[in-house]
Every structure is written in structure tokens, then in C-alpha cells.
Structure 1
């Protein structure tokens, strides 16, 4: 832990650490070392990748996370000299990720310090208000606590139970979160008063609970037995809320000394009481984070799923055999199925809760006994509808992962079939061409042939283009079109050429026209479609009609803008503004000043006084369009200007 920043802040390398101190120390230091930010396009992506790297390391040794939490605690203690913007960024990151991680490990002392410090930085006004309100209540609250502790102490002493009884303070950030979550004002938060009873034996916990319930009536639904069913972070305690003196709600926690130390120190105390073991092999949070890491396709998705998983409250459901499964609040039988096993989740076809058949969207509650009904069919698979009500990141990531894999396999088969058909039409041999296919895949930027096939299957690459490029490599003395020309009466060498301002892959003397539906302009991503009798129609790749055209993939061709553009192009734009006097004059004058030639225009003003102005303008290049739109947005009253796709 003393060396955690050496690789980051000094000239010492990880190899040097490994040589001097061994593999174990090197693993811990590497786990908490940030990744080089130069590799990433944004600070957020760098943060996500660094946390993902830490998660991989902590799966091997939980001490990586313990060191990181200690490091972050020290960081927030020394934020004062830093610029306000950096203070807020570090505080926000701490509240989003590190405080929930400390909670997951049961390290409550560190968690509370992080939350209180960051709350003061991010919401100083709100913290001051809550602190003042708590201070005003303090005299009455202290007096009330003294009376409660005296009553409980006397009752326990009469029963011969040795116990320590203390007031349990409510932290300011937890009060704030409760106010935000419940929508209540401070005056309506009643559970600011609580006591903690610490006894020697587990049996004394239940005896003390009975005595508390004889002193004051319990509030229904507010009793939780975390001794019989510990939380995910090994937390154990009895929780109850009673109607205390004066009719005020009183929260009571009852635990043993061992449980108390574990509640405050978390995983560190767990190691202490579990001699001869690293203590982290059965920690549920590690498996959860490892699952998120395995299923996430990129660092940003990993961080989003991690935040979702860390923040959720829990419910405890049981299998028919009595095994307890911890799930996020609001979880459904689908989440329960994936908690048991991924295959059980994929094959889930129904569920029984407490012996009754229920819909898969039913929200589970603590104590529910859940039986998952699975399908034996070979075609059993998850439903996309499950994503609408699945709550756990594990379930959602597994469902998405199944459909991603299924889509890839389907795209692979479709792409391979399309390329095979194109090669047969072009008389390209189908065997012994793996080398040429690998080269073509590399030309397109793919690592292997399967990736090329998937791109074709997803209609992102034309099978005709693949076939023609393979033909060129098989016959380097000819162009791709020579394969077709061999069947013609008068063979001649054909080549790729520019038709107007568009380059058509592998075709010559073809009429090329711009599709009116989307009006592509130089710089747009474009695709080509071979029409019947009207040449090649060029569309923007995001045109609404492209989806229908790709159903006839054999007629799709690759097209590109020529390196040098000549002439002008026409484009429709729309300006949205708050109606005012002389608005039309100012917009028209601005277009003229920017060098745009207006060919057509229309305008309308709605009842909400929003003016919509449309213009067909003539410009010389794509950069000019961005310049015009940016200038229009700066006009007084204009709140948006954009290119219009008719």
C-alpha cells in the first residue's frame, strides 16, 4: 500500500517492482495504476477503462480494491488546495463508484467518510441546510436518546444480559438521499433517532430483541433478520423499528461484538475471523463484478453496469432447497433464474413464487420461495421483452449477450452465403482462395475472414465488391471486371472510373444519379443501388429507404466520392426560431452573406409562436454547409438550424 503510486508518479517500472519485490506486490500495484490517458478519446473513457482494469485485478486479489479505497479516501481528504472543478469531478467519481464499492465490501467507516466529504463539495448549500436542521433538533433528540437508553439498559440488566448501548447517528448524506428518494421534507423524516445494542452471544441478540418488543410495540414490516440471512458483504445484525416513547419511531440494531467489527471494517474483519483463508473467494460482489466485466463489450458499458449494480438495494429470495439468493430491489423471476446459472436463465419458461404460478415480470420480495421452470427444447432462448423488466445487470448483460452472439452467427452465415453467390456469378473459384480472402478482409480493416462475412451479412459491405477484389488478386494482370469480360464476344480491359463526382466500384459507363429521397452531398457516407434502366442510384447510408434496398443485396454496390469535387450541390435546410419582427429578413440576409444561393423557400409560424423556415440552397462544398448552419444558429431568436432530409 505504501508503494501504490510508484509506477504512476516515478520512473520505476512495473518490471522493476516485480524484480525487487516479487509478483504479488507487482500485481497489487498494477491493479491500482491508472491506464495511460493518451490512449483514450475522453477523460470519462479513461476513467471507465481504469476501473475496468482494477476490477480484473481485484478478481485475482481483493486487496487491490482495499488499497484503492484507502488511496481514494486519502485523496478526498486533501482536495481543498485543488481547483473547484477538479474537486467536483473527483467527488462525483467517488460518490458514483468508490463509496458504493466500499459499501459492497462492508467498509462502512470509509463509505460514510467518502459520502460526507463529497456531499460537502457537490452540494454545500443542501448540506448546510440539513446540518442546521439536525443541530436544531439535537437537544430534544439527545434527551430522548438518554431516556430510551436508560429504559433498555434497565430491562437488559434485569434479564441478566450484558450489553453496550449507544445512540446511532444518522449521517447527513443518508438523510439527503432519503429526502430525494422519498420526496419528503426534512421535517417528515422520522427515523433520525436510533440505538445500537451490542451483546456477547448470538442468542443474546434474539433475547434483547424480545425485550425491546415488550417495551415498545414493533412497526409491522420493519423487522429484518440479517443474522439468519446475512447481506452480500457478510453484514449481520437484527433490525427493528418500534413506536418508542412519545409515539416517535425508534430504530434499533442488535448485534454481537464480532458482527459490529465486521459491520464497520467489512472485508478486513472478515479475513480476521476467517483464519487460514484469503476470505475473498466467497465474496458475492467479486463474482458480480467479474460477470459485468465478462459481458461488457467496452469500458463505458462496464462502468454503466457497475454503477447500476452497486447502487441497488437488495431483496432476499430462496430456492426450494432453502438457498438464499441476493437480488436487487424490484427483481423478477428472470433475475432469479440468471442468478442461479446463465443456462437456467436462457431456458426459463415460467416461475412459481411461494407455490403459485406467476408472470415472469412479477417483482419478488424478501422471503419469497422461487422455483424456476425451464424448457427442455433445443431452441429455448431468452426473450427481448425480458429486458423491459429485468433489474440486475447480470441478467440484462446475459440477455443482450445471447442476442449479440445469435446476431453474429446469423450474420456470419448470411454473409458467407452472399459472397459465395457473388463469386459464382463472377466465375470466381470457391476453393483454395483463403489467402486472397484474408487479404481482402485486411483491405477492409477486418482481422479475419469471419469478420468480413459478418460485415456482409449485416449489409455493411457489398458481396459483389468482395468477389471483384478476390478476382483482382487471382488475376493481377487484369482488373476485377476481366472475370466477366472473358464471357463477352469482344473482351477488353475495364477499369474503375469516376462518373461525375462519384466513384463506382467495378462499373463503367453507368448512369449515376443522386437519390432525391435523401439528397446526398459530398462528405456524406453513401451507398449505391443498381436500378433497372436508370443506372446507379446513390443514397446516404442512413437514408430511410436503404433498409428496404438491402433486401436485394446483390444489387448493392460500393460507391465513394471522388477525391476532387467540382461544381455545386443543392440541399434543403430548416431553421427553427422564436417568431419576431424582421426574422425572415435577418435569416435571408445571413444566407446571402454566407454565399448561399437560395433556390426555394417556405415559412410557417405555429400558435406557439415557433417559426419554421425552409430553404433550398446551392453551395460549393460540404464545409460551406456547416459554416452556414453555424452562422444561422447565432442569429437572435434562432435556437436550431439543420440539414433537412425530405
Structure 2
């Protein structure tokens, strides 16, 4: 553990103007506050905040941040109060300490909810001052270094998983790759101990078997560059175990098949030297196609700049080489924190626009699960680059569509998108954007987010915004419908109801307020008879539980008597010829699904004990209704073509709905009555053959 004078001397070495008295006060206060508290390792608890502060001195952070690190656990774990911290150390340090303080008193019902609430408050705090994140990452890094002292394996794995899912991606997003790599390695050791041991053992065997191969290759690279007049400092290393394991999993290959386990870094004086060195290396060894990346001309969103390439070195060894300047290297190692060393705090603040996106997601997430899903999407996906018509660079995850691009530019643009042009060509909004594409979003003030966008949008910001709009729209529509249905129910009562009747009805139905009643009526979770009975007992005139039970049909059921009541599931719309299965729940008839229906998969995963599976088969039937989605060109007569094709196949249109409309294409959902599956397949093939039709899918 660092002594008081050692810690202060470290700070004064890189910042002679630091407030020495502030650091001394913080050290003494924290030591007295934590007193005799012990960590799981048996060390004094006070050693932890001092080691966190020591980690941050390596980043050359300012005195307020170092004081915050020393004090970061005092409010949570001691009797110290925020007011006391503000009085003794100033409002800036108090605000930072409050932002970093762990939120242990949060009461939530599930681990997911607790993690989401911690993440929510943490993101809000760090959006105000990025130093909150720097202290928190150093805190988590030291906790991971001492994680092996915790006795319970399940607790170690939980902390490691949280580190892998949240803190390592956060470190990566602000460019602190050394923090990220060490946290990933320590977490991987707990989550996949056998894989970690196996890869580590093989890396050791590789060292022994190949001699000092890394040093020899590094020496050869240095010689190549210096002979050409490029002053280069070259170093090499094996990739860390988690990086190797992830590549093996992504490529579905064994360790022996993985050729690029060695990485080299060349530090050269200027940007011009970077490109010159790259040319020299490519002239000396063949480049691996598709592996050259220029992050100098097009930096990553976190500010990372470097040239990357992979070459086939002597003996068919594939090696990765990174080339950068000393300033780029400092930023690559420590990201935003590096700007404190360069006294460039303004630039550090400008590199956190992605945090604003995360904070916007906080306002739109409907549940803890949705918040965690969208946040991880925003933090931890491979990126591509696309351009606006004015040349502005927009970074997106691989697989992104114009909808994601529009929301990446601005939420209003996403909400109003009606179409897109990629490289000047009109395309559907679900088209996948390629690296380097120029994207123009076509907008209309009358447009609103469409439900089918959820099928192809992939960014957390886009999904959160679409779902928020749909929730509000659905609620408004349900309230209007519920009000209309309730007025009709009241009109059918045998007498006019009193002023208190609605309040008593809510009590009988155990609903909190009138909007909840209206939504329940609109969703048909309450029958008309139940509402009538709650408003005026006896008005329903019978057993309200079965007063309005829908009429069921009958099909053959192997092992049961014919004539059992059933419903054809609305999620998959089975038709004669589909392989089907029945689903029976308590107090309900049998629901018939296609065997491949996604709802069945969800139920199987939940393993619902009260759900019975029933083996069913088609009996005699005159047909069924299938639902298909048709994407047609936006041109006169297109719907007439569809209707003609459907009529020619002796099918009948039951319902048609326009789901999506943009400049070039319309997407319609059509319910058609068909005899059986072969007829449906012939119909879909006929539709696909029509020139006006772009795509046909069964819903």
C-alpha cells in the first residue's frame, strides 16, 4: 500500500501545482473513517481506496480526482456524510464522490433490476463529469485484481460477469484499452476457468517451443524501419487469453488453427512516418487481404487513432502490426484520461457524445431488461462508418440500417424517416448499410415510427425510441377504444349508475384507476359481463366468468374425443398442411400453433408447469386464414396486381393493412383464406413472380 508521502509525491511529480494539503486531508480522513474495517483478503479496507488512487496517478489525473478516489467509499461504508465531504474538501470533490458512491441501499426485486438501477444512476452521474467514470473504472479494476480473495464462487462469477458486460465495454468506449484488457482477462479467468487455463498453458508452450520468437520479429521490424530512416520503437506481445478465446469462438476454429496470436506495435515520431512505415512493411511482407484499417484518417468514436495491418511473416506466421505516434499511443492506452496529461480536458469532454446517447436511452427504456439490452448494444458492437450527404461521419454497429442511421443523426430525424437513399439510390429502410456508404434520409413531418422497424433496427438508441413511441401510441389508442366500449357498456345497463359506481367497480376489479380499467376493456382482459357486474351487481344476469365465452370450433385430436374446443393461434396463423401442436392452459381451450412458432419456443424456455402440450392433427376443414407480408413498389396499380394474382389462385382476401410506407416501397399485411398449405405456397410463388412485388413472406 502506498504511504501518504509516496502518493502525494507521485501527484506532485507530474503536477507541481497540485493542492498538496487537499491530498493530505483526504488521506488522513479516509484512514480514520474506515478505521478497523477489513477486506476479504484480510488487509485493512483503507488500502483499497489508496490503491485506486495509485492507479489513477499512473494516468496523471488532477488532484480533485485523486482525492475523490481516496474518499470514494467513505459515504457508503462509513459514518461520513456528503455534507461533511463538501465542507472539508469542497463542492467539486463532494459531487464526484457522490457520483462514484456505490448504490448499495437500492431495493429491487431482481438482480436485473438492481443492475439496471445502478447503471441508470451511474450513467447520469458520469454524463455530468467523465472523471466519475475514470474513478469507477479504477475502483472496479482493483476489485478485480483482488477478486480471488472472495470465498463464494457464485459471487466471484457474478462480479466478473458484471465487469465483462458493463465495465470493460465502458473502458473500451472511452479508449482505455489497457483497463479493458486487464478487466476482461481477470473476468474471463472466473467465468471460464478451464478455457483460461487451457489457453494460458498453450501460450506458455508456444513461448518455450519457439524460443524468443516475438523478440526476433520485433528486432526485424525495427531494423527494416531504421534502415529506411524511420525512427521506430517496436514492441511485441501475445494477445491476451480472452481475445484469443473470443476469436476461436467467432471463427469456430481451434487454438492450433489460430494464426495471429502475436501482435506488434511500432511507435514513430509523426503521422507521415506512420504511413511511410506501413508502406515499408507492405513492401517487405504480403498483406492479409481485408485486414488493413486506417483509424488515423477515420478515428474510432472514442478517439482511437492508429494504423492496423496483418502480414504473412517468415515461416507463414500471420502477425498483426499497429503503427502510431507517441500521442496516439498514450490515447490508445488510456483514452480520455490521456488528455489530462496533455492538459487537454476540453477534448476529453468532447469525446463522450456516446454517453449522451446512453442517457437518452435511460429516458425511453420501459423495463430493467430493456435498459440493459439497449445499453449493451450501444457500448459493445463492432462498428462501421457511414456518411451524411454533407460528409459528416456517423459510426454504427455492423448490420445497421437507415433507421439506425437516422436515429444516430437525431431522434427527430429517425421518428420522421419515410425512406432512404444509399449512394444516391432509393432503397427500403431495412437495407443493411455497408462500410463507407453515403446515406440520405428522406423525411416527412407526418411520419411516425412504425412497428415493423423493430424487425430490422439494431441500435439501442433506435430500438428504445421506437418502442417508446409505440408504447405511447398504443396506450392512447387503447384509452380511446376503452372509453368507447365502457360508454356502450354503461348504456346497456338496466338503470343509470350513481356517481360512486365507477370507484366501487375499480375496487371490485382490483384496478388502481380508470385508465387501467379502460385499457383492460380494450385488451379484452375483462369481458363486458364482468364490467357490467362490477358497475351494477346482478346486471350481467348470470355466471360472468362464462357469459361471453367465445364460440370454439372443433378438430380431430389424437387420444381425445373429437369436438374439443380450440382456437387457431393469431401469432402464427396455422393452415391445413402445417405441422401443428396444441397448447392447453388452465381455464382455457386448446390453442393450435404451427410447430415452429416462436411463442412455443418461449414457453419451452420458461418451462411453464401449468401448460400442457396436446398432440393434434387436422381434421376435415373447409380452409383457414393465413397471414402474409408483401412489399410492393410504390406505383399505380400495384395493389390491383396483388388482388388479381390472389383471385387467380382461388384465394380470398379477408383483411388488408398498410404497415409501412416510404418513398419507393409499401409493406402490406394481408389475411387470405386458403384451402391448405400447398395452395398458400403456390399463391406466394405467384406473387413473387409479379413485377410490382419486391418480397413476400409468411407472417
- Contact kept? 1:170, 1:193, Cα under 8 Å: yes
Between the aligned partners of 2:428 and 2:245, the Cα distance in structure 1 is 36
Deviates more, 1:24-33 or 1:69-78: 24-33
Cα contact 1:572–1:645 (8 A) shared by 2: no
- What is the CA deviation profile of residues 165-210 of structure 1, one whole-angstrom value per residue up to 9, with x for unaligned ones? 1114311110011111111100111111221111121121111111
Structure 2 residue 161 is the aligned partner of structure 1 residue 130: no
Kindly tell me: are residues 30 and 417 of structure 1, through their superposed partners in 2, closer, same or farther at Cα, counting changes over 3 Å? farther
SS of residue paired to 1:344:
helix
Change (3 A) 1:529 1:463: closer
Cα shift at 1:311: 2.4
Cα distance in 1 between the residues matched to 2:566 and 2:104: 41
Q: Distance between the aligned counterparts of 2:113 and 2:454, measured in 1?
A: 25
Moved more, 27-36 or 216-225: 27-36
Aligned to 1:395: 462
Residue from 100, 104, 111 that aligns with 2:180: 111
Match of 1:72 among 140, 154, 157: 140
RMSD of the TM alignment (CA)? 3.6
1:209-608 matched pairs, under 5 angstroms: 209-273=278-342, 275=344, 277=346, 279-374=348-443, 376=444, 378=446, 380-423=447-490, 450=515, 453-460=518-525, 481=536, 506-507=537-538, 510-512=541-543, 515=546, 529=548
Task: Give the Å deviation of 1:234.
Answer: 0.8
Partner of 1:522: none
* Deviation digits for residues 613-635 of structure 1 (CA, Å, limit 9, x no counterpart): xxxxxxxxxxxxxxxxxxxxxxx
In 2, distance between residues paired with 1:386 and 1:573? 34
Alpha-carbon contact 1:428-1:467 (below 8 Å) kept: no
Q: Give the aligned partner of residue 28 of structure 2.
A: none
Aligned partners of 2:286 and 2:550: how far apart in 1? Answer: 82
1:56 matched to 2:124: yes
Task: Measure, in 1, the Cα distance between the counterparts of 2:512 and 2:92.
Answer: 35
Contact 1:314 1:329 in 2 (8 A): yes
Q: Pick which of 443-452 and 88-97 moved more.
A: 443-452
Gap regions ≥5 residues in structure 2 = 1-68, 552-564, 571-585, 591-606, 615-699
Alignment partner of 2:349: what SS?
A: coil
Q: 2:222 aligns with which of 153, 158, 171?
A: 153
* Secondary structure in structure 2 of the residue aligned to 1:512: coil
- How many angstroms apart in 2 are the aligned matches of 1:371 and 1:273? 38
Query: Aligned pair 1:24/2:92, yes or no?
Result: yes
Distance 1:173 1:429, change over 3 A: same
TM-score (norm 2): 0.64
Q: What runs of 5+ residues in structure 1 fail to find an aligned partner? A: 470-479, 482-505, 516-527, 533-542, 549-569, 575-638
Determine the C-alpha separation between the residues in 2 that align with 1:513 and 1:201: 82
Q: Is the 8 A contact 1:415 1:453 kept in 2?
A: yes
1:176 equivalent among 227, 245, 248: 245
Cα distance in 2, alignment partners of residues 509 and 181 from structure 1: 62
Q: Decide whether aligned partners of structure 1 residues 455 and 169 sit closer, same or farther in structure 2, where only a CA change above 3 A counts.
A: same
How many residue pairs get aligned? The number is 500
Report the CA distance shift for 1:74/1:356 in structure 2 as closer, same or farther (over 3 A).
same
The residue number in structure 1 matching 2:679 is: none
> Conserved in 2, the CA contact under 8 Å of 1:179 and 1:186?
yes
2:641 is aligned to none
SS in structure 2 opposite 1:351? strand
- Higher-Rg structure is 1
Q: Which secondary structure does the structure 1 equivalent of 2:420 belong to?
A: strand
Classify 1:30/1:80 alpha carbon distance in 2 versus 1 (closer, same or farther; 3 Å): same
- Summarize the Cα distance change of 1:544–1:572 in structure 2 as closer, same or farther, 3 Å threshold: closer
**CA–CA separation in structure 1 for the residues paired with 2:125 and 2:437:** 35
Answer yes or no: is the 8 Å Cα contact 1:49–1:300 preserved in 2: no
